[in-house]
A = this chain, B = another copy of it.
Amino acid sequence: MSILYDERIDGALPVVDRAALLRALAAEIPDLEILSEPDELVPYECDALSVYRTTPMLVALPKRLEQVEALLKLCYARRVPVIARGAGTGLSAGVLPLPNAVLLVMERFTQILEIDPAARRARVQPGVRNVSISKACAPFGLYFAPDPSSQIACSIGGNVAENAGGVHCLKYGLTVHNILKLEILTVEGERLTIGSEALDTPGFDLLALFTGSEGMLGIITEITVKLLPKPKVAQVLLAAFDSVEKAGRAVADIIAAGIIPSGLEMMDNPAIRAAEDFIHAGYPIDAAAILLCELDGVEVDVEEDCERARNLLQNAGASEVRQAADEAERALFWAGRKNAFPAAGRLSPDYYCMDGTIPRRALPEVLRGIGRLSDEYKLRVTNVFHAGDGNMHPLILFDANKDDELERAETLGGKILELCVKVGGTITGEHGVGREKINHMCMQFNAKELTAFHAVKAAFDPEGLLNPGKNIPTLHRCAEFGGMHVHMGKMPFPELERF
């Protein structure tokens, strides 16, 4: 595994006197719970991308806003870096600790402060679990649309920090499209309101800027989310194809026909087999690819769209199109897809979940490329896609205890992201950049673009104390990484000419 923070290329960090800091915290914020013993720190070493691990200097577990405020002021005065963390379910090592940074865990802020059904919004604290919002709003027939796979465990603060998506974001958007207002604390511990309850807010749009900023601009302390009325009915079609190309064409046809499915997911043969073996969803195990196409809304509308989608799937060459007979079968169809990751886990001791986005038209080309890379690096890859919006999640199967498999998996993952950029896509879909993809930002953006990001970072955190070394690489890091300045696939990229 690569060095997780390299002061030479990531920028020098302040020297922190840990003992003095602990004394100051005890004296100035005596009721703030602090973890500092080695065994207490272990659970906070990583997020869900557990191959990246560092022991935090110490962990703060505030329960009240005033404690967070005081902590930030104290850390700012002493120039101590701070890394905010939610439930720790992230997949890009966005909350990877540093040995000289405070890990500020917001998981105890679990209150739903207000639900306004008429205005269709809720005000919640950052530690509220994603699914809890929808549960609390269910009596009003409302729900919060973004539904990352981790929704039972992940927190809304983390969703905002990573701009999380989910199976339904094709129709309902990412987190940024489903929030209205944020209360934040700046690096200096100052309170700031961002956005408003109106559709448009005067001044610069900082709401979108903060969403997905991975804890680099401020600490989120409250979120006002939009709520949507629950769709009356949902129906799902399962289509089997004897080639990935045909499945890809069907996706393009459905979108081009003006149908907006609430979910449009693709799985390739290895993913189908793994899921079927695990869940027994009734998937056709010989298909090269299957599509799950979900339509939701009012009944008549869904029926009509189902009929149209079925025709489009058949015209694109589906060997079979099945409509879930009832709610139980619909749940079963989805259970296979939603358990694609744990199913892969049964095939291999370890797996590495990638997250990239490609233009829909490039889907067959990218799958062929991944196949070639899989052969080259001698590691199996299964593919699961949010096909409708081109967001792909190749799973690289490996065994961390074998030779150099972890290293090969990391390299292979990087090559897959390069391929995404080469075809005009991006290196993330919904998991964020974090520490994981910091090098790959260098091929996504050129020096001018990165400089613009750094200028924005400096506007809120001039000394770089918030989550150092994540999300936006230094130019020094990019130079070190090889100066691969491909921009949206437009500049020459000789390493990839073979694709």
Task: Report which A residues bind B (CB closer than 8 A).
Answer: 117-120, 141, 163, 165, 169, 173-174, 176-177, 186, 190-193, 196-209, 211-213, 217, 229, 252, 255-256, 258, 297-298, 300-301, 304, 357, 359-361, 389-391, 424-430, 432-433, 437, 441, 444-445, 448-449, 452-453, 455-460, 471-472, 487-488
Which 4 pairs across A and B sit closest by C-beta, in order of nearness?
A208-B208, A229-B258, A455-B459, A300-B300
Cα separation A173 to B428 with both chains bound (whole Å)? 25
Q: Which of B176, B204, B430, B452 has a CB less than 8 Å from the CB of A192?
A: B452
Pairwise interchain contact A449-B193, C-beta atoms closer than 8 A: yes
With contacts A198-B425, A301-B298 taken as known, whether A453 is within 8 angstroms of B204 at the C-beta atoms is yes
Provide the residues of chain B in CB contact with A192, threshold 8 Å: 448-449, 452
Pairwise interchain contact A213-B208, C-beta atoms closer than 8 A: no
Cα separation A294 to B40 with both chains bound (whole Å)? 59
What are 21 contact pairs spanning A and B, CB under 8 A? A118-B361, A119-B361, A165-B200, A169-B199, A174-B199, A190-B448, A196-B426, A197-B488, A198-B429, A199-B391, A200-B391, A203-B441, A203-B449, A203-B472, A204-B456, A204-B472, A206-B209, A208-B208, A209-B456, A229-B258, A459-B459
Provide the residues of chain B in CB contact with A255, threshold 8 Å: 118, 120
Pairwise interchain contact A426-B200, C-beta atoms closer than 8 A: yes
- Copies of this protein in the assembly total 2
Q: Which of B213, B297, B360, B426 has a CB less than 8 Å from the CB of A119?
A: B360
**Interface core residue of A205, A208, A304 (most chain B CB under 10 Å):** A205
Cα separation A87 to B448 with both chains bound (whole Å)? 30
Instruction: A192-B449, A204-B457 given; name 15 further pairs at CB < 8 Å.
Output: A118-B360, A119-B359, A173-B199, A186-B448, A186-B452, A191-B448, A193-B449, A193-B487, A196-B426, A197-B424, A200-B212, A200-B430, A202-B444, A205-B209, A206-B452
Provide the residues of chain B in CB contact with A487, threshold 8 Å: 193
With contacts A205-B211, A208-B207, A426-B201 taken as known, whether A460 is within 8 angstroms of B449 at the C-beta atoms is no
With contacts A192-B448, A426-B200 taken as known, whether A256 is within 8 angstroms of B117 at the C-beta atoms is yes
Cα separation A390 to B198 with both chains bound (whole Å)? 8
Cα separation A209 to B204 with both chains bound (whole Å)? 6
Provide the residues of chain B in CB contact with A201, threshold 8 Å: 426
Name A449's closest neighbour in chain B (CB-CB).
Answer: B192
Pairwise interchain contact B213-A204, C-beta atoms closer than 8 A: yes
**Interface core residue of A174, A201, A203 (most chain B CB under 10 Å):** A203
Cα separation A203 to B177 with both chains bound (whole Å)? 17
Pairwise interchain contact B198-A357, C-beta atoms closer than 8 A: yes
Pairwise interchain contact B357-A199, C-beta atoms closer than 8 A: yes
Provide the residues of chain B in CB contact with A212, threshold 8 Å: 200, 204-205
Cα separation A303 to B487 with both chains bound (whole Å)? 48
Pairwise interchain contact B359-A202, C-beta atoms closer than 8 A: no
Cα separation A186 to B197 with both chains bound (whole Å)? 31
Provide the residues of chain B in CB contact with A457, threshold 8 Å: 204
Name A358's closest neighbour in chain B (CB-CB).
Answer: B198
Pairwise interchain contact A118-B426, C-beta atoms closer than 8 A: no
With contacts A204-B456, A212-B204, A452-B206 taken as known, whether A488 is within 8 angstroms of B120 at the C-beta atoms is no
Cα separation A432 to B463 with both chains bound (whole Å)? 33
Provide the residues of chain B in CB contact with A120, threshold 8 Å: 255-256
How near does chain B come to A319, taking the closest CB pair, in angstroms? 24
With contacts A118-B256, A301-B298, A360-B119 taken as known, whether A202 is within 8 angstroms of B428 at the C-beta atoms is yes
Pairwise interchain contact A426-B198, C-beta atoms closer than 8 A: yes
Cα separation A317 to B301 with both chains bound (whole Å)? 30
